């Protein structure tokens, strides 16, 4: 009897495996390796496997994905790209222009993407009017994450402006806590700087500086002020921050070592994975001085040209499932983001996600929606690389001068355009 059971199980295993092979494989390159991110990508994997396809995971750790992009380039140049890769913003156009990406119009038509996606998102996912990538979500970058218990112990007020932030930080430090948890690496520094720059420039000048690359705004007085505040924040992070990953910083807020973190809402994925509830265990609010602004980051999978027919079917199946309501709900609840489809109910989402959707819709109407430069949504890799160098060098040099930094920023951005 036992033998019989065993061989039946073996048969089931063998056939599920060969069915998956027969139905094709999708290799997916991503950098979703933190606790919350891994839960979210697990949703995509499971849903694809439920349809009988095979998922080949190609994860390269590192917030912001610069390590992942380096690996992707090597694979693509050697003629062996994965089926799908997490590529965002203007880079989608660059990869398409080089002829690597496949045309997803038939899937898009069948699945009604044009009816489901906001026009702005459609534009980002298309090259010369054809879909080459599929979006997963909408992340807001300009968030402040707060541990209210630490604020209570320090008798400090949750800040909405930079002067309030510095006043609270003073009290928090005096009470023996770290005011701001920070993952000190070039990407983390740039993500923090973006929130400060947005608060000082406002959406119009932010766009002039980081989208139009306007020299006058890049080195203008508002940018100098942004660098001045950025420098001051350095006093409110701990000396162990260099080299720390963003999710480790989130855990400092979760476990009450630090009071705050400024980070995109993938940080919420960490709170959720730790079983924490907004409004009770933590608070989410716009980064100081950015109320009403929405710094936009969209995760998307760009699809590469493949030869194997079964694998192409698997790739199409992956693309099709990403905009389905169930995936949008379950994935985004784990990821900390909101659905990229604005027609879905937000009822089962938490308070932060509901606030994010509200802010997204309002900012889209008011012209306060800006592409996140730190998350590769505004510029070419070359320009972002130059911005990142100036920002991180400034942040880590105690003697650095804000006025000089703004000038260096303008020069560096210009040099990347030559
Ligand atoms: C991505 C997010 C990711 C975060 C940290 C961002 O650039 O868009 O999906 O969670 O980096 O890894």
Res. 233: pLDDT tops 70 = yes
Does residue 212 sit in the same domain as residue 242? yes
Q: What is the DSSP string of 220-258?
A: SHHHHHHHHHHHHHGGGS-TT-BT--HHHHHHHHHTTSE
Position of tokens 């994860």?
59
| Centroid of ligand 1 to alpha carbon of 345 (angstroms) | 24
Structural domain total, the chain: 2
Say yes or no: CB of residue 337 within 6 Å of ligand 1.
no
Please tell me the predicted confidence (pLDDT) of residue 396: 98
Q: Is the CB of residue 292 less than 8 Å from the CB of residue 222?
A: no
Res. 4: pLDDT tops 60 = no
Does residue 43 sit in the same domain as residue 170? no
The verdict on residue 43 lying in a domain is: yes
Nearest atom of ligand 1 to the alpha carbon of 375: 7
Distance of CA 102 to the CA centre of its chain: 24
Q: Counting every residue, how long is the chain? A: 418
User: Could you report the per-residue pLDDT of 195-216, keeping only the tens digit for each?
Assistant: 999 999 999 999 999 999 999 9
CA torsion sign, 15 to 18 to 22 to 24? positive
- CA-to-CA dists, residue 393 to 44, 86, 404, angstroms: 38, 28, 12
Lowest-confidence segment of 20-29, 60-69, 400-409 by average pLDDT: 20-29
Does residue 166 sit in the same domain as residue 285? yes
Does residue 283 sit in the same domain as residue 206? yes
The verdict on residue 289 lying in a domain is: yes
- pLDDT band of residue 10 (cuts 50, 70, 90) is low
Angle between helices 402-417 and 381-395 (to 10 degrees): 160
Say yes or no: CB of residue 241 within 6 Å of ligand 1.
no
Does residue 402 sit in the same domain as residue 285? yes
**Which alpha helices (DSSP H) does 117-220 contain, by range?**
119-125, 148-154, 162-174, 186-210, 215-218
Does residue 233 sit in the same domain as residue 312? no
Please tell me the predicted confidence (pLDDT) of residue 370: 98
Does residue 232 sit in the same domain as residue 282? yes
- pLDDT band of residue 8 (cuts 50, 70, 90) is low
What is the 3-state composition of the chain as percent helix, strand, coil, each rounded to the nearest 5?
55, 15, 30
The verdict on residue 360 lying in a domain is: no
Question: Element (H or E) spanning 296, and its range?
Answer: strand 294-297
The verdict on residue 14 lying in a domain is: no
The verdict on residue 218 lying in a domain is: yes
Does residue 332 sit in the same domain as residue 312? yes
- CA-to-CA dists, residue 411 to 103, 189, 209, 235, angstroms: 38, 20, 12, 27
Does residue 86 sit in the same domain as residue 222? no
Q: Cβ neighbours of residue 411 under 8 Å, at least 6 residues apart? A: none
| Centroid of ligand 1 to alpha carbon of 136 (angstroms) | 12
Report the alpha-carbon distance of residue 197 to residue 209 in Å, rounded.
10
Specify the residue with its C-alpha closest to ligand 1, atom 8: 299
Res. 388: pLDDT tops 50 = yes
Res. 20: pLDDT tops 50 = no
CA torsion sign, 40 to 42 to 44 to 47? negative
Does residue 394 sit in the same domain as residue 382? yes
Does residue 163 sit in the same domain as residue 203? yes
Specify the residue with its C-alpha closest to ligand 1, atom 6: 64
Report the alpha-carbon distance of residue 73 to residue 95 in Å, rounded.
10
Say yes or no: CB of residue 63 within 6 Å of ligand 1.
yes
| Centroid of ligand 1 to alpha carbon of 343 (angstroms) | 24
| Centroid of ligand 1 to alpha carbon of 191 (angstroms) | 11
Q: How many CA atoms lie within 13 A of 5 on its CB side?
A: 2
Say yes or no: CB of residue 64 within 6 Å of ligand 1.
yes
Please tell me the predicted confidence (pLDDT) of residue 22: 79
Say yes or no: CB of residue 37 within 6 Å of ligand 1.
yes
The verdict on residue 250 lying in a domain is: yes
Q: Cβ neighbours of residue 392 under 8 Å, at least 6 residues apart? A: 185, 186, 189, 190
| Centroid of ligand 1 to alpha carbon of 390 (angstroms) | 21
| Centroid of ligand 1 to alpha carbon of 222 (angstroms) | 28
Please tell me the predicted confidence (pLDDT) of residue 17: 52
User: Could you report the per-residue pLDDT of 277-335, keeping only the tens digit for each?
Assistant: 999 999 999 999 999 999 999 999 999 999 999 999 999 999 999 999 999 999 999 99
Please tell me the predicted confidence (pLDDT) of residue 64: 87
Percentage of the chain beyond pLDDT 70 is 95
Q: Cβ neighbours of residue 82 under 8 Å, at least 6 residues apart? A: 27, 28, 29, 56, 58, 72, 75, 304
Please tell me the predicted confidence (pLDDT) of residue 6: 52
Say yes or no: CB of residue 375 within 6 Å of ligand 1.
yes
Specify the residue with its C-alpha closest to ligand 1, atom 9: 299
Q: Give the SS3 label for residue 261.
A: strand
Res. 2: pLDDT tops 70 = no
- pLDDT band of residue 136 (cuts 50, 70, 90) is very high
Specify the residue with its C-alpha closest to ligand 1, atom 12: 63
Please tell me the predicted confidence (pLDDT) of residue 73: 96
Specify the residue with its C-alpha closest to ligand 1, atom 7: 64
Average pLDDT of the residues in 35-48: 97
Specify the residue with its C-alpha closest to ligand 1, atom 11: 64
Say yes or no: CB of residue 336 within 6 Å of ligand 1.
no
User: Could you report the per-residue pLDDT of 144-179, keeping only the tens digit for each?
Assistant: 999 999 999 999 999 999 999 999 999 999 999 999
Say yes or no: CB of residue 185 within 6 Å of ligand 1.
no
The verdict on residue 2 lying in a domain is: no
Say yes or no: CB of residue 266 within 6 Å of ligand 1.
yes
| Centroid of ligand 1 to alpha carbon of 63 (angstroms) | 6
Q: What's the burial of 38, exposed, middle or buried (CB within 10 Å: 0-12/13-18/19+)? A: middle
Please tell me the predicted confidence (pLDDT) of residue 212: 98
Q: Is the CB of residue 73 less than 8 Å from the CB of residue 304?
A: no
Please tell me the predicted confidence (pLDDT) of residue 21: 53
| Centroid of ligand 1 to alpha carbon of 283 (angstroms) | 20
| Centroid of ligand 1 to alpha carbon of 207 (angstroms) | 21
CATH number of domain containing 175: 3.40.190.10
As a whole number, the mean pLDDT across the chain is: 95
Please tell me the predicted confidence (pLDDT) of residue 318: 98
Report the alpha-carbon distance of residue 60 to residue 416 in Å, rounded.
26
Please tell me the predicted confidence (pLDDT) of residue 416: 96
The verdict on residue 183 lying in a domain is: yes
Nearest atom of ligand 1 to the alpha carbon of 31: 12
User: What is the residue range of 185's domain?
Assistant: 140-296+372-417
Does residue 43 sit in the same domain as residue 176? no
DSSP 113: H
């Amino acid at each position: 009897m036992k033998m019989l059971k065993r061989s039946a199980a073996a048969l089931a295993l063998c056939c599920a495996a060969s069915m998956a092979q027969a139905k094709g494989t999708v290799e997916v390159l991503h950098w979703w390796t933190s606790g919350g991110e891994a839960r979210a990508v697990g949703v995509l994997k499971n849903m694809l496997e439920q349809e009988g396809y095979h998922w080949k995971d190609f994860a390269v750790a590192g917030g912001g994905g610069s390590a992942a992009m380096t690996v992707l380039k090597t694979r693509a140049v050697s003629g062996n790209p994965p089926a799908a890769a997490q590529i965002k913003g203007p880079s989608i156009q660059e990869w398409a222009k080089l002829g690597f990406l496949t045309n997803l119009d038939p899937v898009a038509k069948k699945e009604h993407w044009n009816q489901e996606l906001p026009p702005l998102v459609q534009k980002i996912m298309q090259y010369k009017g054809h879909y080459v990538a599929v979006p997963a979500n909408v992340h807001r970058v300009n968030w402040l994450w707060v541990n209210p218990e630490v604020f209570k112990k320090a008798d400090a007020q949750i800040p909405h402006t930079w002067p309030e932030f510095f006043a609270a930080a003073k009290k928090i430090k005096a009470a023996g806590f770290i005011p701001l948890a920070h993952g000190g690496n070039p990407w983390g520094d740039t993500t923090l700087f973006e929130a400060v720059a947005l608060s000082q420039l406002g959406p119009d000048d932010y766009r002039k500086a980081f989208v139009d690359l306007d020299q006058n705004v890049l080195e203008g007085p508002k940018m100098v002020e942004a660098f001045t505040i950025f420098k001051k924040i350095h006093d409110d992070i701990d000396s162990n921050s260099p080299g720390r990953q963003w999710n480790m910083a989130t855990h400092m807020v979760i476990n009450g070592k630090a009071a705050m973190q400024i980070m995109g809402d993938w940080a919420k994925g960490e709170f959720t994975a730790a079983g924490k509830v907004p409004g009770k265990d933590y608070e989410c609010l716009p980064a100081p001085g950015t109320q009403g602004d929405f710094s936009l980051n969209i995760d998307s999978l760009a699809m590469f040209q493949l030869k194997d027919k079964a694998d192409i079917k698997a790739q199409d199946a992956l693309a099709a499932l990403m905009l389905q309501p169930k995936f949008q709900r379950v994935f985004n609840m784990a990821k900390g983001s909101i659905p990229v489809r604005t027609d879905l109910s937000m009822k089962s989402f938490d308070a932060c996600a509901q606030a994010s959707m509200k802010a997204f819709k309002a900012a889209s109407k008011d012209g306060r929606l800006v592409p996140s430069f730190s998350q590769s949504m505004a510029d070419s890799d070359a320009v972002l690389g130059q911005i990142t160098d100036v920002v991180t060098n400034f942040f880590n040099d105690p003697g650095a001068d804000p006025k000089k930094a703004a000038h260096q920023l303008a020069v560096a951005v210009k040099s990347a355009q030559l």
